[in-house]
Amino acid sequence: MLTFADQYEAFRRRDPAWDGVVFVAVRTTGIYCRPVCPVRTPLARNVNFYRSAAAAEQAGFRPCLRCRPETAPFCPAWMGTKTTVARALGLIERGALDGRNVEQLAGQLGIGARHLSRLFHEHLDASPLQIALSLRVRRAKLLLNDTEYSVQHIAKLSGFPSARRLTAAFKRLYGRPPSAMRKRAVSRPVQKQYAQ
């Protein structure tokens, strides 16, 4: 359990280990800060500690304009646009662009399609559709190597609308159709051990 004395001492020392763990509210100013805030340390009798920025705001305190406690570490706002890109990647990995377009994905994230594309280019140097295609091809390649499914079935499981699209993607990326990739996988000795 965090004691008042420990929290106040961490605030007095501006200990970065406590940043995002506790928030310091000063009753005389009505402002709450991060423990690393460079402001003059207030008297202990004028201070309250909260476990979250939301709790401090609920108690009626405003965020400090110097240390921006509402963007403390572990808050999505702290990571900035990386959070949006990470959420989009998670949705794409779960098939959000299989049979849907970027506008629908962006709408699900609460932003515009152009903004989402800009964020992807800024953080990943690729568009959302390029990332989705890469993930589909990777899924298809794993299925080709690990299963005996037909190319048509693999295309469906990987998120491709048809076997033709899967074949075109493989030819563009690897210079050969999926069936040739499977033949290569079959001709190599099997290293995997499967539980029976």
Axis crossing angle, helix 102-109 with helix 81-93, rounded to the nearest 10: 130
Predicted confidence at residue 48, as pLDDT, reads 95
What are 141-196's pLDDT values in tens digits? 999 989 999 999 999 999 999 999 999 998 888 888 998 877 665 555 555 554 44
- Residue 47's CB is within 10 A of a number of other CB atoms, namely 20
- The sheet carrying 62-63 orders its strands as 47-50, 23-26, 31-33, 62-63
Delimit the domains of the chain by residue range.
4-75, 80-185
CA–CA separation, 82 and 86 (whole Å): 6
Predicted confidence at residue 51, as pLDDT, reads 87
CATH architecture of 80-185: Orthogonal Bundle (1.10)
What are 7-22's pLDDT values in tens digits? 899 899 988 888 888 8
What are 40-78's pLDDT values in tens digits? 999 999 999 998 888 888 899 999 888 888 776 556 555
Predicted confidence at residue 55, as pLDDT, reads 87
- Residue 162's CB is within 10 A of a number of other CB atoms, namely 11
What the block records as the tokens of 63 is 């965020």
What the block records as the tokens of 121 is 């280019």
β-partners of residue 25 are 32, 48
Predicted confidence at residue 76, as pLDDT, reads 57
CA–CA separation, 5 and 10 (whole Å): 9
CATH architecture of 4-75: 3-Layer(aba) Sandwich (3.40)
- Residue 99's CB is within 10 A of a number of other CB atoms, namely 9
The pLDDT confidence band at residue 32, using thresholds 50, 70 and 90, is very high
β-partners of residue 24 are 33, 49
Q: Which residues are catalytic?
A: 33, 37, 64, 67
Fold equal for 4-75 and 80-185: no
